[in-house]
Structure 1
Amino acid sequence: MRFLSPAKINLHLEVLEKRPDGYHEVQTLLKRVDLSDEMEVHPGGQGIRLILEGEEVPPGMENLACRAASIFCRETGIPEDLEIRIRKRIPVAAGLGGGSSNAASVLAALNDLFRTGLNSHALMGMGAKLGADIPFFIFQRPALAKGKGERLTAVSMPEGLGFLLLVPPFRISTSWSYETFDRLTGGKRKTGTPLRDSYSTLADLLEVLKNDLEIPALSRYPEIGRMKEALLRQGARGALMSGSGPVTFGIFPSREKAEEARRKLVLPRDWKAEICCGL
C-alpha cells in the first residue's frame, strides 16, 4: 500500500503553563500542506522493519512510524510483521510535524489494509499515546488544538493560499525550544488569545498570526527574523516560523504569487525553498 504523509504549519502557537506530565499547555492553529513524504506499508516478513530514503531520521523502533505500527498491531491482535518505507521530503526536526504525520499515516494505512474498522477517534487515541501532533494528522482538517495538542476543534480557513517555506541548514530541538522559552519568559501564562473556529479571509488569519517559540529561536538564530523580513519584502502577506522551527514560511494569496516570490528571493547559502498549498 502506497500513500502520502503531509506536513503541517502552525498559523498561531501560544505556549502556556507547564503541566505536571512535563508537557506545556498550548493553543495552536494547525493546517496541513501538500509537502509530503511518500510512504509504503507491506505486510509479511519478520518483525517491523523500516527502510528510509532521504534525510536521516531515527532508525528502527526509535522512529514514530514503527512505534505507531507496533501499538496498532498490539491493540488489534495483528502480527507485528511489516515493512515500512519512507521517502523523506519533509525536512526533519524543522517544525513541520513530519514524524508525527508518518505515524498517523501508518495508523490510517494499517486500518485500511487489514480492514479493522477502527474509527478516527480510536486511531487518534492510539496516536495520542505516542505524540501530541499525531491526532491532528488523523483529524485531517484545519484545527484549533489545545491541551498538549490533542484536543481538536475544526476550524474553517480560506482556500487557495500559497505558502513559501524556507528551510535553513540548521535544526532546532523541540525540547530545547520549550526549555529556553520557559527560561526567557518565566512560562507561567495560564490563558491565551481568544481564537475563533472560522477565519473566512486571509486578512482574518493575519490578525492571529503568532508563534511564541520564535522567542527562543531568534535568541540563537537571528537569521530567521531576517528571512521573515525578506519574505515580506517579496510580497508575503504574513511570515511566521512553524512550530518549534526553524522552517519559516510566507503566506500568499495563491500558489502563483508564492512562485513569483521564490523566483525573486535570494536565499542564504545552504538554505532551501519549498512551495506548497494547504490541504
Structure 2
Amino acid sequence: MTSLNIFSPAKVNLFLKVLKKRLDGYHEIITLMQPISIYDEILLDVSDGSGIFVECNNKNIPLDRTNLAYRAAEMFLRKAGIQKEVHIRIKKNIPAAAGLGGGSSNAASVLKGLNNILPSGFSTSSLMEIGAELGSDVPFFILNHSAIAYGRGEKLDLIEIPGYWYVIVNPGFPVSTAWVYGNLLLTKEQEDINIPSLKNRLKDICIEDILENDLEGVTVLEYPDIKDIKSGLRGAGAAGALMSGSGSTVFGVFENKEAAGIAFIRIKNDPMFKNMAVFAAQGL
C-alpha cells in the first residue's frame, strides 16, 4: 500500500461577474480567485484490489459517488486504465457548501495525489481537463495559484496578486450554488468585462475597490445575516468585505498579518459572531 498526505486549500473570490446564461445551462462568468491557507487534510491510500472508499470526520459530507473526491478517483482510474483500491480519508476544516471551494479542492487533491502515486503519465493540463469534467473550480485547485477564471470558471489566466490576509466568517448555514444561480436575474445591462480590462483595474485601483460579487445580492435576500457580517468585518478594520462565491462565507481583506490578527480576536470576542466559524488566513 502507498499512502500520501495532502493539504487541500480553500479559496476566495475577490471578484465575480456573471455575464450570461449559456445554451448548455451553465453561466458565463469572470472571476478573480486566490487560494488561502485554510486546509482540509486528506490521507490517500492506494493498494492492489478494486473499489473506492471515502471516510470523513464531518457526518454531513456524503461518502458515495455524490462526493467529488470519490468521483475524482473514479474518473482518474478509468481514464488511466488502472485498477486499484483507493481509500480517501478527509478531515474537513473548510466549511461545506460555503463558497470556499472545499469539495472542488478535495477533488483536485485526489487527482494530483493519484497522479503522484500511480504511473498514469498525466500532465498538469490533462489533469485540468479531467478536473473540468468534475466541476468548474477543480482546474483552479489543480494549478493552486491566483487566477482569473472565465468561461464557466474552468478556463484560467494566472495572475500575481499580493498575499493578502483575510478574516473569514462562516455563519454556519450551507448555501446551494445551484439555487443561487437559479434565482439570479440577468436583467441588468452587463458591463464589458474581459481579462485585459480586469487586469488593468487591478493595476490602477486598490483591492478593496475591485471587490464585487453578482451572486451576493441573491444570497443576501434569503440570508440577511451576510450583510451584518460584512459590516462587522469592516468595523473590525477590514479594507473591504465580500461574500465568497455563492456564499455563505464572508471575508474581510487586510494588508498584513498583524491587522488581520487584531480583527480576528475582535470578531471572535464579539457576541454577534458567537455561533459562527471564524478563521484568519493568508492568500497563497
TM-score category by the smaller chain? over 0.9
Gaps of 5+ in 2: none
Out of 10, 13, 20, which is 2:13 matched to? 10
**Whole-Å Cα distance in 2 between the matches of residues 43 and 197 of structure 1?**
46
Distance 1:188 1:68, change over 3 A: farther
1:209 deviates by: 0.9
Out of 264, 272, 277, which is 2:277 matched to? 272
1:255 deviates by: 2.1
Q: TM (normalized to structure 2)? A: 0.92
Which residue does the alignment assign to 1:249?
251
1:187 deviates by: 7.0
**Whole-Å Cα distance in 1 between the matches of residues 104 and 199 of structure 2?**
25
1:139-150 matched pairs, under 5 angstroms = 139-150=143-154
**Whole-Å Cα distance in 2 between the matches of residues 113 and 229 of structure 1?**
46
> How many residues are paired up?
275
**Whole-Å Cα distance in 1 between the matches of residues 201 and 119 of structure 2?**
35
The amino acid of 1:247's aligned partner reads T
Residue 280 of structure 2 aligns to a residue whose secondary structure is: strand
Residue 16 of structure 1 aligns to a residue whose secondary structure is: strand
**Whole-Å Cα distance in 1 between the matches of residues 156 and 259 of structure 2?**
31
1:68-217 matched pairs, under 5 angstroms = 68-159=72-163, 161-182=164-185, 185-186=186-187, 189=190, 191-192=192-193, 194-196=197-199, 199=202, 204-217=206-219
1:217 deviates by: 1.0
Gaps of 5+ in 1: none
Q: TM (normalized to structure 1)? A: 0.93
**Whole-Å Cα distance in 1 between the matches of residues 216 and 98 of structure 2?**
13
Identity %: 40
1:180 deviates by: 1.2
**Whole-Å Cα distance in 2 between the matches of residues 171 and 187 of structure 1?**
27
Q: State which drifts further: 186-195 or 245-254.
A: 186-195
Distance 1:112 1:173, change over 3 A: same
Give per-residue Cα distances to partners, 1:86-142, cap 9 Å, x unaligned: 000000000000000000000000000114231110000000011000000011210
Out of 245, 258, 261, which is 1:259 matched to? 261
**Whole-Å Cα distance in 2 between the matches of residues 162 and 189 of structure 1?**
31
Contact 1:153 1:197 in 2 (8 A): no
Q: What RMSD, in angstroms, separates the aligned Cα atoms of the two structures? A: 1.8
